[in-house]
Amino acid sequence: MSKFTTWAKRGLFVLAPLALFAAMSASAAPSEDSVPSAVREALQRDLGLAPGQLAQYLKVERQALQLERQLANAQGDRFAGSWLERKANGDYQLVVASTSLQPQRGPADTEIRSVRHSLAALGASKRELDTLTARGGKAPDGVYGWFVDVRNNSVTVNIAPGGEQAAVDFVAASGADAGTVRFETMASAPRPLATLQGGSEYLSNDGTNYYYCSVGFAVTRQGAQGFATAGHCGAAGDRVFVAVNRRTVSQIGAFAGSSFPGADRAWVQVDNNHTLQPVVDGYNQSDIVVRGSTEAPIGAAVCRSGRTTGLHCGVIEAKNVTVQYPGEQVNGLTQVKVCAEGGDSGGSFITTPGQAQGVLSGGNYSCKGKQANLATSYFQPINPLLQAYGLTLTTTP
């Protein structure tokens, strides 16, 4: 059992009392008409997309998935990352960054942009920060995490207001190239999103207390069925329940594997008399079908589903992010500009074409009022989670 305070230990997934699992999903074909209404409305609400802009975005997203590896290989060791970017007129384009000074022209809706640092150089600087903490060095209070920020061609260190000097000293102690580092002030600290409550549809129990979390995606392993979720939601062996009513719960399975801190991944094996569906809950609207787990690029839109706040959509900002939670560090997360709240932990992140991306780890603001526009959330990527436990994602053909 990881040492962790009760306010941050768990979270809850939406699950009916009959144990009918609803993970999170999206449509098969990345065209506007094929996107479920729940996702379409969430994208337009959270990203400010008009119908025509949504169609153009989906076209560029599809193109990025087809071309970004080819374009990266063409740059060789000059490659500095790629991402989807929204232009001033509201249209999207794929940006490929390169340290080459020669002007280059890419395909339609693609810009090849000259930058200073290669992706390899930025990765080397981030590894210096990771190595310092891996060898026992501690990130100072007010340093919330760091990542290779391809959009700003830097290693960005997220810090608290007034935390600049501590962050400068931390970077200096690591030996990272200071010329690659920039600081980004984050007004509220990230934390694993979980909440201790009672009387809900799905709970984990550590032998003493019940906690709420959200299901990620239906999975199988050697004939056993279950679901992927966040590691801080439960330790291996912790039991999992659904609420029958306000006073009674019924056990449906247990955590078969869990890792936290370091990573934030887990899977729950569910008794075979229950049914898990390869969909993501659209909350009072169309559920979203899971088609696969192709990784989306930086700048891509993803939607998150969780039991506390329902369906919300945002944009991938960075990958391989190191996050400093209170007293615990988690590596390899993906950063998304989207809100979430306690109890959403473990919930699904998915793209509009129905590609599973990961399970919610934590964040720093709620979905209430103006806070939602400030929020940043982090997810544990799904493919490393599946590989870690030898799982197969359940999909709909």
CA dist., res. 190 & res. 16, Å (int): 30
Catalytic residue among 130, 238, 264, 344: 264
CA geometry: angle at 218 spanning 214 and 223, to 5°?
Answer: 135
Q: Is 238 a catalytic residue?
A: no
Is the C-alpha dihedral spanning 363, 197, 367, 280 positive or negative?
positive
- Sorted by sequence, the CB contacts under 8 Å of residue 113 that are 6+ apart come out as 95, 96, 97, 98
Q: Is 232 a catalytic residue?
A: yes
Peptide bond into 261 cis (omega under 30): yes
Residue 266 near residue 231, CB atoms below 8 Å: yes
CA dist., res. 102 & res. 107, Å (int): 16
Say how many C-beta atoms besides its own lie within 10 A of residue 172's C-beta: 11
Catalytic residue among 204, 345, 366, 377: 345
CA dist., res. 192 & res. 190, Å (int): 7
Q: Is 345 a catalytic residue?
A: yes
Strand partners, 165: none
Catalytic residue among 27, 232, 286, 305: 232
Instruction: Tell me phi and psi for residue 343, to 5 degrees.
Output: 95, -20
CA atoms within 13 A on the CB side of 126: 27
Just list the catalytic residues.
232, 264, 345
